[in-house]
Amino acid sequence: MTYTPPPPGSKIIIVGGGCFGLSTAYALALKNQYDIYVFDRQQIPAPDAASSDINKIVRMDYANDTLYMHLTIEALGMWHQWNEERSQQNLDPVFHRSGVLLLSGKDEFSSFEKACMKNIREAGYGHFIKEYQSPEEIVEDFPQFHHAVKQGFNTAYLNKAGGWCNSSEAVKHMYQKCIDHGVHFVLGDEGCLKNVYCDPKNPDTVVGIQTADDTIHYADRVVLTTGSWTAGLVNMHNQVVASGQQVVHFSSPQNATLNASWEKLPVWCGDLSNTGYYGFPMTPGGKMKIGKHSSGYLNPREVDGVSVPRTQVTHTTDTLPIGALREFRQFLGNFLPETSSLDVSFGRVCWYSDSIDGDFVISPHPDYKNLIVATGDSGHGLKFIPILGFKIRDIIEGIETEYSRAWAWRDMSTQDTKLDGLRADSLLQRLLLDETEHARMATPDEFKASRPRL
Ligand SMILES: Cc1cc2nc3c(=O)[nH]c(=O)nc-3n(C[C@H](O)[C@H](O)[C@H](O)COP(=O)(O)OP(=O)(O)OC[C@H]3O[C@@H](n4cnc5c(N)ncnc54)[C@H](O)[C@@H]3O)c2cc1C
């Protein structure tokens, strides 16, 4: 299907007001030549959107995926600019330059960390890296990890340019920018897409969307930025899959010294390409989040087996699978054993739109005229919220760039699945989210530290 960029004056509907959608709406609005609408099934930030969270990692450490390293470097400048804008508005910063500490195991960097350092240095950003020469040096800078180092996480480098962002605040920040630039919003039930709407005489030509209340909203172009929900809304030909990933929080311990030391943590990755675990400093609000970047869980729907997100909005008592909780406790027992005496205060499954190769999928949809999809975030998109929309705008406007080439529709078969670089070595083993003993949801009682054995 040939794609024609929207001429000036076009009405563009963007469905999905998360990171991808808002960033796109803002970049398009800056052109002052389109009429832009964002639809979302919830108020923004949507509580179960991947973008809505207390924090996300902002890292440039991408091993050989240097496209994203360069994109992060572009984004970093804008994160600092956002902090300045916010300080003028008496708002808290959204980006926190805590540094990102990448720990590897057993006396040697793993190939991911080696490739990160090599590429960052070759690109001329070696001054951001502090490579530790001995386990003792790591503990000297970060005594919080003395136990982890003793357990064999004893090689590390710190990327001093990275850190974390308060992602829900970042979404709100971008939402406000969109409002200030004249983007229209249709939110809640009226904003919920039922299906893309095609010209009855030309069934492959999208002329708008039909919302859950059966209203048809006409548009010249429709952009789907519906994250992990996308494959459930339009046939994505298995190029992306909704995969459920796990997150837990701990609340401030009743120990002022420990509390203070956790506030000073950097973002950390505990041999991430092998274990999947990463974590954040304690937030000013007293929450410490730890996550696992893995191949995740599937939730296939009955009608066609397409995996769709199952979240705490529709399943209010959901937590995270008991098997995942057991694994968190086991890993943390070695890595940050002080957590063993703390209750897990919150747990959830958060959904990636996982592409087959870890690259985003941002492209005209091959089956339809006038439909663009921008998804396949593969668990690493949020850090780009200040900049991503400009790259997506290029694609909507038919401008070829290195990004449009990397994110083009790829027609890969699922057996080629290799996930993103960080998970490249992990076993692609996706469990079903169901009622089995491994995948049933953990109960609040099982969150308690006093439970001797899970
Ligand atoms: C556990 C976890 C940890 C992560 N950690 C990081 C990290 O450390 N660093 C990083 O950079 N990235 C991270 N990510 C990835 C990042 O969150 C995503 O890349 C990013 O949020 C994707 O944005 P999105 O706009 O595509 O999707 P979403 O934020 O999910 O937005 C999709 C929007 O579409 C709306 N929608 C869905 N269906 C409909 C419909 N039918 N009609 C109307 N609207 C609809 C939803 O309400 C939602 O607002 C993480 C993700 C998860 C799940």
What is the tens place of the pLDDT at every residue in 431-454? 899 878 888 999 999 999 977 666
Phi-psi region of 412 (alpha: psi -120 to 50; beta: other; left: phi over 0): beta
Q: pLDDT at residue 228 above 90?
A: yes
Q: Are residues 30 and 116 in the same domain?
A: no
> What is the Å distance from ligand 1's center to 278 Cα?
18
Looking at the domain assignment, is residue 83 inside a domain?
Answer: no
CATH of the domain at 350: 3.30.9.10
Looking at the domain assignment, is residue 2 inside a domain?
Answer: no
What is the tens place of the pLDDT at every residue in 99-108? 999 999 878 8
- Atom of ligand 1 minimally distant from the CA of 57: 8
Residue whose Cα lies nearest atom 2 of ligand 1: it is: 350
Spatial neighbors of 443 by CB under 8 A, at least 6 apart, are 319
Q: Are residues 28 and 99 in the same domain?
A: no
Alpha helices per DSSP H over 89-141: 111-122, 135-141
Q: Are residues 362 and 372 in the same domain?
A: yes
Give the per-residue pLDDT at 420.
Answer: 65
Give the residue from 391, 420, 105, 139 showing the smallest Cα distance to 294: 420
Q: Are residues 15 and 114 in the same domain?
A: no
Q: Are residues 135 and 258 in the same domain?
A: yes
Buried b (16+ CB within 10 A) or exposed e, 186-200: bbeeebbbeebbbee
Q: Are residues 186 and 323 in the same domain?
A: no
Average pLDDT, stretch 140-161?
A: 97
Which residues span the domain enclosing 295?
95-161+241-355+442-447
Give the per-residue pLDDT at 231.
Answer: 98
Q: Are residues 336 and 401 in the same domain?
A: no
Asked if residue 154 lies in contact with residue 342, where contact means CB atoms within 8 angstroms, the answer is no
Give the per-residue pLDDT at 430.
Answer: 84
Q: Is 347 in the pocket of ligand 1 (CB under 6 A)?
A: no
Q: Are residues 372 and 304 in the same domain?
A: no
Q: How many domains are there within the chain?
A: 2
Q: Are residues 322 and 351 in the same domain?
A: yes
Residue whose Cα lies nearest atom 1 of ligand 1: it is: 350
Q: Are residues 346 and 362 in the same domain?
A: no
Alpha helices per DSSP H over 278-358: 322-335
d(CA 186, CA 15): 10
Q: pLDDT at residue 241 above 70?
A: yes
Q: Is 362 in the pocket of ligand 1 (CB under 6 A)?
A: no
Q: Are residues 193 and 337 in the same domain?
A: no
> To the nearest whole number, what is the mean pLDDT of the chain?
95
Q: Are residues 153 and 227 in the same domain?
A: no
Give the per-residue pLDDT at 434.
Answer: 83
- Atom of ligand 1 minimally distant from the CA of 377: 19
Residue whose Cα lies nearest atom 12 of ligand 1: it is: 380
Q: pLDDT at residue 286 above 90?
A: yes
Q: pLDDT at residue 5 above 60?
A: yes
Give the per-residue pLDDT at 414.
Answer: 64
Q: Amino acid identity, residue 244?
A: G
